[in-house]
């Protein structure tokens, strides 16, 4: 079946540190891949996406590259800010059910000043 595995949190970093949150997936064919972010007290919002192999999604300084060979979609940011503190969810949308989303368990990021 389809599934998403994320690294467990919390991840605690100092401001301006480099961030990597690992995400791997299991799916048939070529799913679409997403990162959603949930700021405290809010619902989830789309951060970035990639719809085919080798695509790079980017937004707000965050990047993730769709790696078919390693079935991964790791989230990176070169210099985190306190305002990036949130929970990050990796998700996939299967080829045969494009309106469905399957989420990972989420990774909490805490950035200290």
Partner 1 sequence: DVKVTQSSRYLVKRTGEKVFLECVQDMDHENMFWYRQDPGLGLRLIYFSYDVKMKEKGDIPEGYSVSREKKERFSLILESASTNQTSMYLCAVAPGYRAFFGQGTRLTVV
Binding site for partner 1 (CB under 8 A): 4, 6, 8, 32, 34, 36, 41-46, 49, 51, 89, 93, 98-101, 103-106
Closest to 39 measured CA to CA, from 31, 47, 50: 47
Nearer to partner 1, 43 or 113 (CB): 43
Q: From the CB of 48, what's the least distance to partner 1, in Å?
A: 11
Distance CA(70)–CA(89), nearest Å, equals 19
Q: From the CB of 94, what's the least distance to partner 1, in Å?
A: 11
Give CA separation, 10 vs 27, 37, 93, 105, in Å.
26, 14, 25, 12
Q: From the CB of 78, what's the least distance to partner 1, in Å?
A: 25
Nearer to partner 1, 14 or 97 (CB): 97
Closest to 23 measured CA to CA, from 52, 64, 62, 79: 64
Give the three-class secondary structure for 14: strand
Q: From the CB of 113, what's the least distance to partner 1, in Å?
A: 25
Nearer to partner 1, 46 or 53 (CB): 46
């Amino acid at each position: 079946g389809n599934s998403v595995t994320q690294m467990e949190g919390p991840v605690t970093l100092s401001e301006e540190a480099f961030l990597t949150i690992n995400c791997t997936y299991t799916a048939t064919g070529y799913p679409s891949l997403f990162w959603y972010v949930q700021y405290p007290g809010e619902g989830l919002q789309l951060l970035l996406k990639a719809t085919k192999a080798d695509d790079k999604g980017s937004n707000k300084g965050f990047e993730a590259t769709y790696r078919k060979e390693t079935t991964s979609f790791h989230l990176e940011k070169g210099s985190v800010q306190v305002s990036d503190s949130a929970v990050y969810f990796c998700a996939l949308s299967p080829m045969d059910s494009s309106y469905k989303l399957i989420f990972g368990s989420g990774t909490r990021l805490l950035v200290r000043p």
